Amino acid sequence: MNTLTSNETTGQRKRAVSVSERREPVKPDGERKYHLKAEKFSVFYGAFEAVRKVSCRFPEHEVTALIGPSGCGKSTLLRAINRMNDLIPSCHVNGLLQFDEQDVYGSKLDVTVLRRRIGMVFQKPNPFPKSIYDNVAYGPRLHGTRNRIELDELVETSLRKAALWDEVKDRLEANALGLSGGQQQRLCLARALAVDPEILLMDEPTSALDPKATTAIEDLIGTLRGSYTIIIVTHNMQQAARVSDLTAFLYEGVLVEFGATTQLFTNPEQKQTEDYITGRFG
């Protein structure tokens, strides 16, 4: 059993982060490909630097978890990746963020295309007040798919990928808001998958869900990894240990440590990381 338990002398509640449930070992470094890179990348709200000169690379078709105490900049960094922060007037960036060698904040970049290639799932399930079918067909229609047979196929494939098809196939015209929270979140995932993205960003996708629905989403992450690059923000370290291949620890906007999940949770290089994962703060 590969566990890490907090130091008894701190008097803190014991917190063990098990990394023994992992499905398979991470890829060796030499086999990794990276299509998303940050170099001294900062994100500001006005004068406040919420993400501070972060440099890292996110590996293709693996799961990277972003962890750290509340307010450390996890959501800010995640939202910057598909430019969701464009909606916040005071928000601006500095440094470099590249997706497939293209500058995400470059003048030539088409944000609509970027968001098709980099999908997002939010903390609270946010289906549109439309039918289940129309929720999934929304993106493909937006991008020009009009053919009903093609749409039917896309809706089914996406719902299958999100492990929701069997539960909803007989009521595709029903309003999505009638689904349970866990089903709604899988629907949002199906909606994101329907436009065939390469990267999936997930911001605490299970924090509004019960344990059973949480397990369903975690299992899904396990099946999607290998086909999609997944970056997941979680405040739950057990979840990070269960679902991710790599983990990034952020503290006060600074990327303190980024490495293989197993290593980061059992043998962190930085004292701050160790303090955080053993429950001494945050």
Ligand X SMILES: Nc1ncnc2c1ncn2[C@@H]1O[C@H](COP(=O)(O)OP(=O)(O)O)[C@@H](O)[C@H]1O
Question: Binding residues for Mg ion, per CB under 5 A?
Answer: 75
Q: Which x/- pattern over 89-118 shows residues binding ligand X (rule: CB under 6 A)?
A: -x----------------------------
Q: Does 50 bind ligand X (CB under 6 A)?
A: yes
Q: How far is the CB of 74 from Mg ion (least distance, A)?
A: 5
CB-based contacts of 91: which residues, under 8 Å, 6+ apart? 43, 44, 45, 85
Taking CB atoms, the residue at the shortest distance from Mg ion is: 75
Q: How far is the CB of 233 from ligand X (least distance, A)?
A: 6
Single-letter code of the amino acid located at 248: A
Closest-CA residue to 239 (of 251, 227, 230): 230
Longest dimension (CA), the chain: 65
Locate 227 and state its tokens. 């086909």
For residue 72, the partner it binds in ligand X, Mg ion, none, with Cβ less than 5 to 8 A by kind, is ligand X
Distance CA 117, CA 137 (A): 16
Q: Does 88 bind ligand X (CB under 6 A)?
A: yes
Q: Does 76 bind ligand X (CB under 6 A)?
A: yes
Q: How many CB atoms lie within 10 A of CB 38?
A: 22
Contact range with ligand X by CB under 6 A, out of 63-71, 133-141, 154-162, 187-195: 63-71
Task: Tell me, by CB under 6 A, how many residues bind ligand X.
Answer: 12
Q: Does 178 bind ligand X (CB under 6 A)?
A: no
Segment 20-49, which members bind ligand X (CB under 6 A)?
45
Q: How far is the CB of 8 from ligand X (least distance, A)?
A: 29
CA 198 to chain centre: 12
CA 115 to chain centre: 14
Locate 78 and state its tokens. 């995640």
Q: 74, 83, 161, 225: which one contacts ligand X (CB under 6 A)?
A: 74
Q: Edge-to-edge strands of the sheet including 254-260?
A: 118-121, 199-203, 229-233, 63-67, 246-251, 254-260
Binding residues for ligand X (CB under 6 A): 45, 50, 68, 70-76, 88, 90
